[in-house]
Amino acid sequence: MGAFCILVAVCFTLLSAASGVIADGNITLQLLEIFNTHEWLGRKPTVYFQCQGEDKVYLPDIRTKGQLYTFLGLESWQPLVNLVGKKCKRCGLYEKDTLKSDDVFNEWELCPFDFSPSPEGSYTRFVANEFNLTFVCPTCNMTSAEVVADTEPAGVFTEEEESHHGLSIAIVVFAILSLGGFAFVVYTQWRRKQRETQQARFIKLFEDDDFLDDELGLKHGL
């Protein structure tokens, strides 16, 4: 039964991937260059990213203006934020200030459909005299596709959507056939073991009868 549970889990994963459930919406920072700092006396800036109502994500490597920083998306402070469904978030890039309120590089609405289609899933934002950055979210484009589909007439599908639906159907059929085949094999093995157990009991019954006859001397009497 352990193998059966594993197969069910695998099939559920495939179905989830086909239906777009595993669209984590994690946004990571790929490139960032700041053109200006707001600190006095040449102090190194402390830059952070934050979306409204969420924690600040400090960018410890950003210490110099005019330098292009690149990231792998695997840093300890990544991802920056998570977008769920079609919902946008009010986010911004800031510089921490010790004497007054933090300085704002820029604030804007960050939306899933801002990102390019997969596999890149990138989004670039340039603000003159402030910064140039690139975000990456490979799964956000799935939400974008849904938004585009909502604006199209009912019953009209693009070639990409038809291909996606065809793949989803194929995965579903494969999962059902796999489960059915596995269930048949398990049932066959169970029936075989039942027959073997019944045969063993039947043979043992005859052996017990023979042993009883020998003890009572019935065979010799016959």
pLDDT in tens, 118-141: 788 999 999 999 999 999 999 887
C-alpha–C-alpha distance, residues 140 and 75, integer Å:
20
> By C-alpha distance, which of 101, 98, 127, 125 is closest to 111?
125
C-alpha–C-alpha distance, residues 16 and 39, integer Å:
48
Count of all residues that appear for the chain in the document: 222
Across the range 76-84, mean pLDDT stands at 94
pTM of the model: 0.54
pLDDT number for residue 15: 47
pLDDT number for residue 131: 95
Q: What's the mean pLDDT when you consider all of the chain? A: 79
Across the range 29-51, mean pLDDT stands at 88
Kindly list the distances between the CA atom of residue 110 and the CA atoms of 27, 101, 134, 193, 213, in Å, as whole numbers in the listed order.
Answer: 10, 23, 12, 61, 90
| Strands annotated E in 69-190 | 69-70, 81-82, 89-95, 103-110, 122-127, 131-136
pLDDT in tens, 153-192: 555 555 666 676 778 788 888 888 888 888 888 888 888 8
* H or E element that contains 49: strand 47-51
By mean pLDDT, which of 13-22, 83-92, 202-211 is the weakest?
13-22
Which domains does the chain possess?
A: 23-151 (2.60.40)
